[in-house]
Amino acid sequence: MYKYIRNQVTRLYNQKSPAIGIGIYRSLYGFVTLQEIIFLLYFNHLIFDPIPYIDVEYPMIPFFLCLWAISSFFIFIGFQCQISLIVNYIFWIIFVQFTPMQRDFDGGFDAFMIGAGFFLMFLPTDKAFSIDQLRSKLTHPFFHLHKSTINEIPALCYYVPILFCLGFLYFDSAIHKLFAEHWRNGLGAWLPSTQPYYISAIDFSWLLNQEYLQKFIGYLIFAFQFSFVFLFFNRYSQPIYLFIGMGLHAGIALSLNIYPFGIGMLIFYTLMIPFSWWNYLTLLIESKNPKLTVFYDKNCPLCNRTVFILKHFDIFNNLSFLNAQDHAHSHHQLSDIPIDILLTDLYAFDNNNVYKGLDTYINILFKMRYLSPIGLALKTPGIYRFAKIKYRNIADNRLRNPCDIECHLPKPIKSFSFYSSIFESPDPLTQKNKLSKLTKALLLIAILQLNSTIHYGLLYRLNIDLKNSTLGLTLHQASNSLLMLSQTFLGIIPHALYLHDHFAGYNQIIAITYLDNNGKEQWLPFINQEGRILAPHWGRVHSMWANIAVTPHIEPKRLNKFIMKVTAYWAPKLGLSLADSTFYIKTKPNISPNQWIYDLRKINASTEWSTSGVAIWKDFTYSSKLDLSND
């Protein structure tokens, strides 16, 4: 078995693939992390304060969140990739383990991001769409004159994260689903989409009311998750799994209030795109004929560097660069301009006009398309004048102080990366030994995942108690120790989301209203009259309320804790004083069946609310009276 796995690892290492997919995934991972950090900053007091705005236990949280945001932005643009990914990984672990994020505000998203971040640290993330790639190339003089080549990396770099972050996750989730009656009835996708707390603002009733279609989707998810780990690498089935998986997670992001989890999983499918498709995509987006021709001084190192930087960001191939000394007078638009004048500025032309200086840069930005907003900003009166003066100073200084080819070259970059230490070795024997060690490391991670699946997915679900014997107790304790380590550092957790554990008995939901300064009752802008959790309280805030505060077996102590936090957070935003404020606890019945019911989304959304309690703030002290009986 070990020999077979090692041979597969070696085969995938020797199979080369373009680095584009890894570069895009790294950038999207950085973007998703950055938006989550912005979310944490926005809800800083609700999530991290024991009592929002009153008892601030973590005053340095915003500072560290900003540091984390910087590292995630660097990941997004591909700057100092290795260091940024390590810092990001450490921040994920620290915030999850040492703040209320995991205990009170977690919906499975954090563990997934920790696991994905762990594998990203060992991938060649700087080989495509990165500032690091540009910085490395700029250390070579006139590099842009050479034909561009697509960086190639081992296909293993794609398959390993897909296997562990998607394949094992799906298989573990499917094992848990076997024990949920509504999933066995084909209603696993339908039931959460009919529950007010989980629905998005988009009404999918027209789809939810198709019973057989919903059951087909439910069983399709079952089959997809069970078989993914065994078939995703097959060249013929890969496109099928790609489109089903993308559709599944796009549906989660659009229909449920856990969009970060849906988007986080969705971006992983950039690694699933067949390698040949990247070539087709390149041909599709690149222009056949350049939209703007730019002339530069071939003897000027600064001009050469500028041109190469522009070429690096011209992903649509809309620009053509020619040196003025050899090509300018062969084009009639510039034939009347003396060569010594051409070399004083950056000249360019398109089908209609000739541009020079700052106007050339502005048109370059417009021709790049995605940088058009910057070009538009430069055309703004005032900014245009200032930019033109700065450009003129730089251009004239270049002519007054010419330098040789080396003067504008940065120092060679000497950086360490986990990827190069594992995958890049000139000695075949050394590389063979490294691949053997890598195989053993991957097997260890697979065993850790298998331990979680057996522990939670089988023994717990089948109610098998190993603690009745000495050997069983030892195995149980060892398993728990491994679970703690694998969950903390690899994000390996049981993926038992939206099962019968959660929905069985979920027969009432809770909302909050308040008395405004005129004594009139208003709905807190947290949960509306339908019972739908409002934006921007999605993701982890939704999980706090719908998965922890309100459950089939409500614990008054925990519910009171979160009512206190939500009311304390919203009071100052609504102009209420916690010296004297009154909030009402509203409840209404909810149906969470194991059998399909027509128009259940509308039925659950339209039931009537009743007042079941009151929460009072008096002199900044919270008290409540709740009656949550279901009579």
Return d(Cα 254, Cα 533) in angstroms, integer: 14
Q: What residues make up the domain containing 101? A: 17-133
Q: Is the pLDDT of residue 443 over 60?
A: yes
Total number of domains in the chain: 3
Residue with tokens 């080819």: 405
Q: What angle do CA 130, 133, 137 make, to 5 degrees?
A: 150
Could you tell me how many helices (H) and strands (E) the chain has, helices first?
A: 29, 11
Model pLDDT, residue 146? 47
Q: Is the dihedral of CA 208, 554, 495, 246 positive or negative?
A: positive
422-446 average pLDDT score: 88
Q: What distance in Å separates the CA atoms of residue 524 and residue 120, rounded to the nearest whole number?
A: 41
Q: Is the pLDDT of residue 159 over 90?
A: yes
**Running DSSP on this structure, what letter comes out for residue 103?**
H
Q: Please answer whether residues 161 and 116 qualify as being in contact, where contact means their C-beta atoms are separated by less than 8 angstroms.
A: yes
Q: Which two tokens stand for residue 612?
A: 């079941």
Q: ω into residue 426 within 30 of 0, thus cis?
A: no
Q: What is the pLDDT of residue 333?
A: 63
To the question of pTM greater than 0.85 for the whole model, the response is yes
Q: Is residue 248 a part of any domain in this protein?
A: no
Instruction: Point out the domain boundary residue: 400, 428, 448.
Output: 400
Cα gap 573→564, rounded to integer Å: 15
Which residue is it, tokens 């562990």?
164
> Domain ends where: 334, 368, 400?
400
Mean pLDDT of the chain: 88
Q: Count Cβ atoms within 10 A of the Cβ of residue 412 and give its class: 0-12 exposed, 13-18 middle, 19 or more buried.
A: exposed
- Single out the residue in 400, 429, 457 at which a domain terminates: 400
How high is the pLDDT of residue 631? 44
Longest dimension (CA), the chain: 96
Helix (H) or strand (E) holding 66: helix 61-77
HSE-CB of 493 using CA atoms within 13 angstroms: 18
Is there a domain that residue 481 lies in? no
Please state which of the ranges 69-83, 194-208, 449-463 shows the lowest mean pLDDT: 449-463
Cα–Cα distance for residue pair 97/9, rounded to 1 Å? 33
Unique residue bearing structure tokens 């890598």: 438
pLDDT at 107: 65
The C-alpha atoms of residue 602 and residue 315 are separated, in whole angstroms, by 47
Q: For residue range 519-532, list pLDDT tens digits in order.
A: 899 999 999 999 99
Pick the more confident residue, 52 or 336. Answer: 52
The band of 412, judged by pLDDT with boundaries at 50, 70 and 90, is: low
Q: Which residues lie closer than 8 Å to 347 by C-beta, 6 or more apart?
A: 294, 295, 324, 328, 334, 337, 354, 355, 356, 360
Task: Let me know if residue 616 belongs to a domain.
Answer: yes
- Range name among 109-123, 242-256, 296-310, 486-500 with the lowest pLDDT average: 296-310
Would you say residue 35 lies in a domain? Answer: yes
Q: Which long-range contacts (CB under 8 A, 24 or more apart) does 37-42 make?
A: 37/65, 37/68, 37/69, 37/72, 38/69, 39/260, 39/536, 39/539, 39/540, 40/65, 40/95, 40/101, 41/65, 41/66, 41/69, 42/536
CA distances in angstroms from 446 to 4, 407, 440, 610, listed in the order given: 15, 51, 10, 50
pLDDT at 591 over 90: yes
Query: Does residue 478 fall inside a structural domain?
Result: no
Query: 354-356 and 347-349 as β-strands: parallel, antiparallel, unpaired?
Result: antiparallel
**Per-residue pLDDT, 630:** 56
Query: Torsions phi, psi of 409, nearest 5?
Result: -90, 130
The CATH number of whichever domain residue 326 belongs to comes to 3.40.30
User: Domain for residue 232, yes or no?
Assistant: no
DSSP 3-state helix, strand, coil percentages of the chain (rounded to 5)? 55, 10, 35
Q: How confident is the model at residue 572 (pLDDT cuts 50, 70, 90)?
A: very high
In this predicted structure, what is the pLDDT of residue 38? 96
In a domain, 408, yes or no: no
Please state, in angstroms and rounded to a whole number, the distance separating the CA atoms of residues 242 and 174. Answer: 18
CA pair distance 567, 523, nearest whole angstrom: 12
Q: Is residue 581 part of a domain?
A: yes
Q: How confident is the model at residue 340 (pLDDT cuts 50, 70, 90)?
A: low
Burial of 562 (0-12, 13-18, 19+ CB in 10 A): middle
| 529 close to 538: Cβ distance less than 8 angstroms | no
The pLDDT tens digits for 304-331 are: 788 888 888 888 889 988 887 776 666 6
* Model confidence at 287: pLDDT above 80: yes
| Alpha-carbon distances of 426 from 193, 344, 351, 420, 429, rounded to whole Å | 54, 46, 50, 11, 9
Residue 142 pLDDT > 60: no
- Residue 329: per-residue pLDDT: 64
Which pLDDT band, with edges at 50, 70 and 90, does 405 fall under? very low
Of 25, 274, 266, which Cα lies nearest the Cα of 126? 25
